[in-house]
Amino acid sequence: MRQKNKHFRRGFTLVEALVSITILAMTIAFVLNVLTNSFLYARYAGDQVTATFLAEEGFELVENTRALNVQAGSFWLSSIPETGSKFTADPLDPRGTFTLCPGGVCPALNLDSSGDFTYHAGTPTYFYREISVMSVANDGIANEAAVTVTVYWPDSSRAHHVTFTNHIFSWNDFSH
């Protein structure tokens, strides 16, 4: 009888095997969940960086136009829609024009073959940029404007956005 008990105790019981398989499966599921979340957070971080750069670029397009206007001796906000309406600006447009968004909804940016974001050519992306400029009068003098740039992008769960607001001023003459 003793030999039977010794022989029986060498292996695992069915319950022990099932418990160890369950623990292994739970460990693998936990690791896969952590990896999946890591990839999602990395993608969100990358999208947030891209959106931040696109918002900064939109602000710089307005600043550049202001500088060119002053250099040309024009009114500093000339050719910049300053009514608070939403508009787009394409950095690759050689004319440097601003285009009002139809119905207040700006189109998605495209990614061209050289890796630049544009509205004219390339593969559509899920980034949307809208710019608005509102003239601010101080003591009845319009020498300041509030520039707001918002970049939106959706993901599987919700829409995200980055918004920058900054003020620009007339360089040459504060009496305009």
Q: What is the pLDDT of residues 43-55, one digit of tens each?
A: 889 999 999 999 9
Quick one: pLDDT band at residue 3, thresholds 50, 70, 90? Answer: low
Give the residue ranges of DSSP H helices in 95-175.
none
Tokens 């009514």 belong to: 83
Q: Residue type at 18?
A: L
Task: Using the predicted structure, report yes or no on whether residue 151 has a pLDDT greater than 80.
Answer: yes
Residue 40: per-residue pLDDT:
80
Report if residue 37 sits inside a domain: yes
Task: Using the predicted structure, report yes or no on whether residue 167 has a pLDDT greater than 90.
Answer: yes
Report if residue 176 sits inside a domain: no
Domain count, the chain: 1
Report if residue 76 sits inside a domain: yes
Quick one: pLDDT band at residue 71, thresholds 50, 70, 90? Answer: confident
Pairwise pLDDT comparison (159 vs 36), residue with the higher score: 159
Task: Using the predicted structure, report yes or no on whether residue 174 has a pLDDT greater than 50.
Answer: no
> pLDDT digits over 97-132, tens only?
899 998 889 999 999 999 999 998 899 999 999 999
> Which residue segment(s) compose the domain that 121 sits in?
2-169
Output the pTM of the full model. 0.77
Q: What tokens does 31 get?
A: 């690791």
Pairing verdict, β 108-111 and 159-169: unpaired
